[in-house]
Chain A
Amino acid sequence: MSAPAAIELEGLSKSFGRVEIIRDVTLAIAKGERHAIIGPNGAGKSTLFNLITGKYHPTDGRVRLNGEAVDQLKPYEINRRGLSRSFQITNIFPRMSVFENIRCGLLWAMEYKYSFWHLVDRQPDLTRRTEEILSEINMSDKRDTLAGVLTYAEQRALEIGITIAGGADIIMLDEPTAGMSASETEYIVGLIRKVTESKTLVVVEHDMGVVFDLADRISVLVYGEIIASDTPENVRASAAVQEAYLGTALEEEA
């Protein structure tokens, strides 16, 4: 038998009261795969994301990371198992410097945990690794800027930096290019491609160009159900997908 999938969803459902947001989703994402989840507004993409990352617990079904059930764990426990995520709404530490934002992303992964006997400024390995990540996301020159005063695109790049800092194997990005101009989008997609090299990537995205460019496989989520999960070419060709969602958007892309 082959190695377990990086992320495996089995019969996953989530209801808020009587409203079913996610209905019986079954999906396996292999290690090293770049997987995109697309779907119209309100299809449940972010909810699905929050179910996988532990922000919500499913009403029914299972979430497995590398074969281990995680659906009842808390976000920080899931993070410690090698999954890191970004958010649709920029989610950084606004009153801390860019450097400190990245460093916060590293502390747990570098085994500092809840230590109150290490001084963070006296850890050469921590400082070096933080600076490496800063240069990877091309923000070395913003090192001491307060994160809250960065431009929107810079904040998004910083958030990706925080997300990848801990060295998680599975990276989940929620609409990383939302609200960006074409050139900014191009830049961020390049950055994502670079920093998630050889990792498992799951991305929720609205921008079709981004999705077809980045993903190995695409799942289409409509009304809480996955109606197709295939390569970009096949998704593009699928009549069901076109009917349900893509239609006009795809023609524009073509």
Chain B
Amino acid sequence: MSDALRPLAPWGVAALVLAVLPFIFASGAALTVMNQMAITIIFALAYNMLLGQGGMLSFGHAVYMGLGGFFCVHLMNWVEYDNLWLPLPLLPLFGGLFGLFFAMIVGTFSTRRAGTVFAMISLGVGELIAACSIIVVAFFGGEEGVSGDRTMGPTVFGLDFASQQEVYYLSAIWLMISAAAMYLYSRTPAGRMANAVRDNEERAEFLGYSQRKVRFMSFCASGFFAGIAGALFAINFEILTEENLNLATSGSVLLITFLGGAGFFIGPIIGAIVFTLLQTVLSLYTEIWQLYLGILFVATVMFFPSGLTGLIAIHFRPYHLGKISVLTKPYALIALPALGLALASASVLEIAFHARHAALGDEQMSLFGLSFNSHHPLPLIAALALGALCIWLLRRQLPSFREAWDEANYAGGPS
């Protein structure tokens, strides 16, 4: 491959994967998960323009996605009832413009300072708009939200977007466009200075840049892409409610970005994929999936503050040194007890949850294919014992694992 094409390779692979995914996971449920994933990825990437690229911690970014989405539902209704001519594939653009418009208003006062001041203003604005959703019923539809029908617009190449698959490809194309645009933005002077202001706002000011204007631009761009995500949400679910604006949604995008790794462009993508999978797949199997998500988040922040992407990235050095094979055996040795510990911990949580919350008289529970009485102490003791055993095994492996890790990262020959 020539050098000029090399940077394009990941994008080509991504496009290819997006194109073939519906053939591998063809069920309606899988398509729904993938659509949601695409939306979440765009939203998280937009959020990371603030957090990772610009050093702005926002607690209210759901507002821009939500407003873009609400606006698009209204557009769909105008298409349906007032003969507005707007092909559905262009809808995300208008969602983005509405997000941009609102970000420009809020950005004028919220980007004056970064840090706590910015975070508090974002929280306040977030709560304000979420509260408005109950008050301004004409736009937000009150508690039941607003809903529309995406299939009423002019058809495009014979497509009316009634099927999930058509919506998937629409989302995938907007995902590619948005991700590429956000990546390219980070490589422009405005994007580079967003990094500079994040690192050291004072220095940036003495190089001719107004920190406020640099932040304002990132904020507006982020609002734009969040609006696109909102529009795709509107297209996919055809309904928006207060939930799309509230603090929980704003919090989960922060969680997603952090989980994936805010320091990497690809971080929010990985975070969004993992989060959506856990949310949709794990919730099929357990009622306390949010607890697991919370544990994963806390563990990530504590042990891998640079996120899951950071966890992958620390393996690049051993790989480039040609020593990745040094790690194979230690990883294999800790894999089993680590898995055992995870299962044992989950068992303890599930048993405790079942014992406390199952219907009265329902004492039988099944876990990992085993059926037992959750009120009997024995299963709990067994799970605790398994956990303790795994911890003991892990601790035994730790010194040799650490040694192997140091060896794999050491540039010299075998010592």
If A74-B205, A76-B209, A93-B203 touch, does A107 touch B187 (CB 8 Å cutoff)? no
Residues of chain B contacted by A75 (CB below 8 angstroms): 202, 205-206
Q: Is the contact region of chain B dominated by helix, strand, or loop, or is it mixed?
A: helix
Is A92 a contact of B200 with CB atoms below 8 Å?
A: yes
A 234-252 to B, binary, CB cutoff 8 A, 1 in contact else 0: 0000000000000000000
Provide the residues of chain A in CB contact with B202, threshold 8 Å: 55, 75, 87, 91
B335 vs chain A, min Cβ distance (A): 32
Interface string of A78-107 (1 = CB under 8 A from B): 011000110100011111100010011101
Q: Which residues of A contact B203 (CB under 8 A)?
A: 87, 91-93, 162
B206: which A residues are within 8 A, CB to CB?
53, 75-76, 79, 84-85
Interface string of B170-206 (1 = CB under 8 A from A): 0000000000000011011111110110111011111
Task: Give the residues in chain B near A92, CB-CB below 8 Å.
Answer: 200, 203
B156 within 8 A of A: no
B45 in the interface, Cβ–Cβ < 8 Å?
no
Q: Is the CB of B217 within 8 A of A95?
A: no
Residue of A nearest to B204 (CB): A104
- On whether the beta carbons of B200 and A118 are closer than 8 Å, the reply is no
A120 to B184, CA, bound (A): 10
By a CB distance below 8 angstroms, the chain A residues around B195 are: 93, 95-96, 100
List the A side residues contacting B214 at CB < 8 Å: 114
Q: Residue B74 at the A interface, CB < 8 A?
A: no
The answer to whether A109 has its CB under 8 Å from any CB of chain B is yes
In the assembled complex, which residues on chain A have CB atoms less than 8 Å from the CB atom of B217?
114, 116
A112 at the interface (CB under 8 A from B): yes
B-side contacts of A114, CB under 8 Å: 189-190, 193, 209, 213-214, 217
Tell whether, in the assembled complex, residue A104 and residue B188 are in contact, meaning their CB atoms are under 8 Å apart.
no
Task: Name the residue of chain A whose CB is nearest to the CB of B203.
Answer: A91
The 0/1 profile, CB within 8 Å of A marked 1, for residues 203-233 of chain B is 1111111100110010001000000000000
Complex Cα spacing A63 to B199, Å: 30
| B25 smallest CB distance to A (angstroms) | 35
**Cα of A84 to Cα of B205 in the assembled complex, Å:** 10
Q: Which of B189, B190, B191 has the largest count of A CB atoms less than 10 A from its CB? A: B189
The residues of A that contact B200 with a CB separation of less than 8 Å are: 91-94
Q: Is the CB of A166 within 8 A of B189?
A: no
Q: Is the CB of A116 within 8 A of B191?
A: yes
- Cβ of B270 to closest chain A Cβ, rounded Å: 20
Q: Does A16 interact with chain B (Cβ within 8 Å)? A: no
Enumerate chain A residues within 8 angstroms of B204, measured Cβ to Cβ.
104
Q: Is there a chain B Cβ closer than 8 Å to A212's Cβ? A: no
Q: How far is the CA of A7 from the CA of B208 in the complex (A)?
A: 18
| Centre residue among B193, B203, B205, B206 by max chain A CB count within 10 A | B206
| Residue of B187, B198, B203 ringed by the most chain A CB atoms within 10 A | B203
Interface centre among B190, B199, B203, B207 (most CB of A within 10 A): B207
A109 touches B189 (CB 8 A): no
Cβ–Cβ < 8 Å partners of A121 in chain B: 187
Q: Is there a chain B Cβ closer than 8 Å to A108's Cβ?
A: yes
Within 8 A of B (CB), among A196-217: none
User: Is B209 a contact partner of A74 (Cβ separation < 8 A)?
Assistant: no
Decide: A116 near B208, CB < 8 A? Known: A91-B203, A93-B196, A96-B195. Answer: no
Task: Please give the residue numbers on chain A whose beta carbons come within 8 Å of chain B beta carbons, in ascending order.
Answer: 53, 55, 74-76, 79-80, 84-85, 87, 91-96, 100, 103-105, 107-109, 112-121, 162, 166
Could you show 8 A-B contacts with beta carbons less than 8 Å apart?
A76-B209, A85-B206, A87-B202, A112-B189, A113-B189, A114-B217, A162-B203, A162-B207
Closest CB pairs A-B (n = 4):
A108-B208, A93-B199, A112-B189, A75-B205
Listed in ascending order, the chain B residues whose CB lies under 8 Å from chain A are 184-185, 187-193, 195-196, 198-200, 202-210, 213-214, 217, 221
